[in-house]
Amino acid sequence: MRTICATIISFALLSGSALSAAGQSDPLARPAIPSAACGSSTIEPGQHSGTMEIAGVDRIWELAVPPIHDGQTPLPLVVALHGGGEFSSSERVLALAEEEGFVAVAPRDAYQDFWMMWDPQLPGYDLSLDNPDIALVDALIDQLGEELCLDLARVYATGFCVGGGGALVLGCVLDERLAAVAPVSSAVDLGETCNTERPVPVLAVHGSGDTTAPFEGGVAPADWFLDTVLKDGSRVRDSAWGRWMMTTLVPMSTPDDFTAIAVRYGCQPEAVVEPLGNAEHYAWACPEGVAVELVAHDGEHSWNSDTDGRTTEQLIWDFFEQHPMPE
């Protein structure tokens, strides 16, 4: 589905080291912020499901609690937003959570057809807490913190395709709650509407052969978009929302989009590009505590890539580990 979708090279990302970029503090030394349930949580490790009513709609999510959750030791939380018409990307994050020792939660469906775009008559994202998708994630962080022993200094969001766009929106709106975000196969600069108090570190993963969310910019032909994405019966077909998506969604290339984000965050406008296995790793020189990075692999519009011997979800988790909330 179409997505709305000094030189500081993170040597942490390139090498998998526990240290962040040279000259910065060890992120593992950042003290945890225990959630309310630490010391009292009785949630057993394993796979769980839950529901919550938001804006009159029962929202369903899947939850992975790793074996090391003992109710006493705060664990990171990763929110995973699936792409259009698929859930496999979220399932991969849920599976990695059990291996790596973090908690993962994956909502099943957006309020409308696309994450963070809940009113088909509004052309674009709604970056407000009234947005039912944003309200859901905000409430989930609260509820899970009351049920599980979480580290509120290490809460993250990722997503594929339309979910990747959703993760970028969350980084703009929930910047006081999310330590970092990682969109996959989704490149969009939200511009001045992304008015954060704190620049949220971002890692993008994108295929250089992606023609659904074109790496080189531009939009897919309108007839393809209507037939493939806004199918007959879609709530957004021929709406202001749909027309906006077809004409303005990906005007710039993926590197240009993230250059714009980097500049807005106070980083240098020129990225340093280094090989990373079958990919290229872009890193912008940024102020202390800020990171903007892009991994451009040689694949198409897919979550499934093998970059430098790591899966997409592992690449993202390695980045998240380097970027807790600043003290």
- Give the model confidence (pLDDT) of 135-149 as tens digits: 999 999 999 999 999
Q: What pLDDT does residue 219 have?
A: 60
Provide the β-strand partners of residue 274.
281
Cβ–Cβ < 8 Å for 312, 303: yes
User: Residue 85: is its pLDDT beyond 70?
Assistant: yes
User: One-letter amino acid identity for 124?
Assistant: G
- Cα 204 to Cα 241: distance, rounded to the nearest angstrom: 25
- Beta-sheet strand order (sheet of 46-54): 46-54, 57-65, 103-107, 75-81, 150-160, 180-184, 202-207, 292-297, 279-284, 271-276
Indicate the helix (H) or strand (E) that contains 226.
helix 222-228
Percent above pLDDT 90 for the chain: 56
Q: How far are the Cα atoms of 27, 181, 188, 197, 285 from residue 163, in angstroms, in the given order?
A: 27, 11, 12, 23, 27
- ∠209-3-130 over CA atoms, to 5°? 155
Residue whose pair of structure tokens reads 């609690």 in the numeric block: 65
User: In the structure, what pLDDT confidence band is assigned to residue 2 with cuts at 50, 70 and 90?
Assistant: very low
Ramachandran assignment for 111, one of left (phi > 0), alpha (psi -120 to 50 degrees), beta (any other): alpha
Query: What tokens were used for 201?
Result: 């570190």
Average pLDDT over residues 198-226: 77
- Output Rg (C-alpha) for the chain, integer angstroms: 19
Q: Which domains does the chain have, with CATH numbers?
A: 11-321 (3.40.50.1820)
- Give the model confidence (pLDDT) of 271-320 as tens digits: 999 999 889 999 999 998 899 999 999 888 889 878 888 999 999 999 99
Average pLDDT of the residues of the chain: 83
Query: What tokens were used for 23?
Result: 């000259």
- Give the model confidence (pLDDT) of 90-148 as tens digits: 999 999 999 999 999 999 988 776 788 766 566 567 788 888 999 999 999 999 999 99
DSSP string, 42-82: -PPSEEEEEEEEETTEEEEEEEEE-TT--SSS-EEEEEEE-
Query: What tokens were used for 129?
Result: 């807490």
Query: What tokens were used for 291?
Result: 């990171």
Average pLDDT over residues 224-245: 52
Tally the residues of the chain: 327
Within 10 angstroms of residue 42's Cβ, the number of other Cβ atoms is 8
User: One-letter amino acid identity for 136?
Assistant: L
- Give the model confidence (pLDDT) of 167-185 as tens digits: 999 999 999 999 999 999 9
Write down the pTM of the prediction.
0.87
More confident site: 240 or 37: 37
Half-sphere exposure of 214 (CA within 13 A, CB side): 14
